[in-house]
Amino acid sequence: MPPTIKRLGILTGGGDCPGLNAVIRAVAKTAILQYGIEIVGIEDGFQGLIEHRVRPLHLRDVESIVTRGGTILGSNNKANPSRYCTGRTETGEPIWEDVTDACLTTIRRERLDAVIVIGGDGTMACAAPIAAAGVNVIGVPKTIDNDLVGTEITFGFLTAVATATDALDRLHSTAESHRRVMVCEVMGRNAGWIALTAGVASGSDVILIPEIPFDLKKIADDIEKRMRGPRYAVVVVAEGAKPLGGSQVIGRYDPTSPDPIRFGGIGNLVATKLGELTGIETRTTVLGHTQRGGTPTAPDRILATNFGFHAMALIASGKRNRMVVRENNIFSDIDLFETVGKQRLVPIDHPLIAAARAIGTSFGDGAGSITPKPIPSALV
């Protein structure tokens, strides 16, 4: 351990996800038990760093939290220090400020030698100016969307897939009983990893992801074919999926957020149009935040624990401004700044898409089987 590292801060940023507490526990226990480092929890993500709201973390604080959903520290997906909404307005428009200095003041006052930020692309982007100002920031990749660059997997994703798969399985049996088309909207803003993976796991008939714009008439044709056989169909649609030549459906707009747009509503739209085109009864289920809540699955607890341990190993080896990653099942790290402003989308020739097409799954584009590109990507 570099002698300079005596006190560490840790925060959870962005939308919560299962496994955050497992990372906090792994970091705190490794810091205290292996290196004798003091650890300080920053409350509510960057909001707590801006407002100097921190509390010491002792072993007793992280006892038994590996199974707990959410984050004991609280999180926030609106507080971006370099574009912070003051709450004041001018001619009706919100006033924004750069409050990075307030974060640096908290870090200096708390004598933090490094800060571990657990979050997605937005959190890494929020952390970059703080790292650029000279603070050692170590990132841990979190998001149910699984869309961070540099890592084949983020923790939280597999739990969300398990939740979505369970819901889709349940929709199958009721779809069959009533000979209906069941449309299920899952999360995934620009990346369709949850829809793709849960769709394949549940044997869904149609999978709609943002990376492959869909044609409703082609989906209707595929469903009509199914009506001649099993006579029911299950469609899984990512919230960010869009029709060919159309746009994503905005469900919510918050002008006081630096990330103001939330998608939502595509499930209803697809169900209504398919009902009109086929004359078959359709229903919509929106899984929403159920995918982010609750206890992490065993693989996510293990992934989160490994990420936390590796984050501490980076600090112990004196590395600066890195994000922990897993590639080809091996833990390593990349430059934190490299992650900013990028997203890892589903390659349209991903082997799982090829496998799904081969077994007759529709992606709403009318395409048949394709030859997969060899992409070493472990989804589980």
Q: Any idea which residues carry the catalytic annotation?
A: 145
Query: Judged by CB under 6 A, which of 23, 57, 117, 144 binds ligand F6P?
Result: 144
- Helices and strands in the chain, H and E counts: 11, 15
User: Considering only 31-39, 80-88, 183-191, 278-286, which stretch makes contact with ligand F6P by CB under 6 A?
Assistant: 183-191
Task: Give how far Cα 317 sits from Cα of 138, 245, 310, Å.
Answer: 12, 50, 10
Residues 15, 20: Cα–Cα separation, whole Å: 11
- Of the two residues 120 and 275, which places its CB atom closer to ligand F6P in the complex? 120
Q: C-beta of 40: minimal distance to ligand F6P in Å? A: 26
User: Considering only 134-142, 143-151, 271-279, 355-363, which stretch makes contact with ligand F6P by CB under 6 A?
Assistant: 143-151
Binding of residue 143 to ligand F6P (CB under 6 A): yes
Give the CA dihedral 88, 89, 94, 99, nearest 10 degrees: -40
**Cβ atoms of 40 and 52 closer than 8 Å:** no
Query: Judged by CB under 6 A, which of 126, 181, 187, 209 binds ligand F6P?
Result: 187
Q: C-beta of 199: minimal distance to ligand F6P in Å? A: 16
Q: Residue of minimal CB distance from ligand F6P?
A: 187
Q: C-beta of 123: minimal distance to ligand F6P in Å? A: 10
With 0-12 / 13-18 / 19 or more C-beta atoms within 10 angstroms meaning exposed / middle / buried, residue 50 is buried
Binding of residue 77 to ligand F6P (CB under 6 A): yes
Residues 256, 249: Cα–Cα separation, whole Å: 20
**Cβ atoms of 322 and 45 closer than 8 Å:** no
- Of the two residues 80 and 282, which places its CB atom closer to ligand F6P in the complex? 80
Residues 15, 13: Cα–Cα separation, whole Å: 7
- Of the two residues 17 and 200, which places its CB atom closer to ligand F6P in the complex? 17
- Of the two residues 243 and 258, which places its CB atom closer to ligand F6P in the complex? 258
User: Considering only 93-101, 129-137, 142-150, 209-217, which stretch makes contact with ligand F6P by CB under 6 A?
Assistant: 142-150
Say how many CA atoms lie within 13 Å of 60 toward its Cβ: 1
**Cβ atoms of 177 and 231 closer than 8 Å:** no
Q: C-beta of 280: minimal distance to ligand F6P in Å? A: 29
User: Considering only 40-48, 186-194, 207-215, 345-353, which stretch makes contact with ligand F6P by CB under 6 A?
Assistant: 186-194
For residue 372, give both structure tokens: 């997969």
Binding of residue 15 to ligand F6P (CB under 6 A): yes
**Cβ atoms of 336 and 131 closer than 8 Å:** yes
Closest of 17, 30, 12 to residue 315, by C-alpha: 30
Site for ligand F6P, rule CB under 6 A: 15, 77, 120, 143-145, 187-189, 239, 262, 292
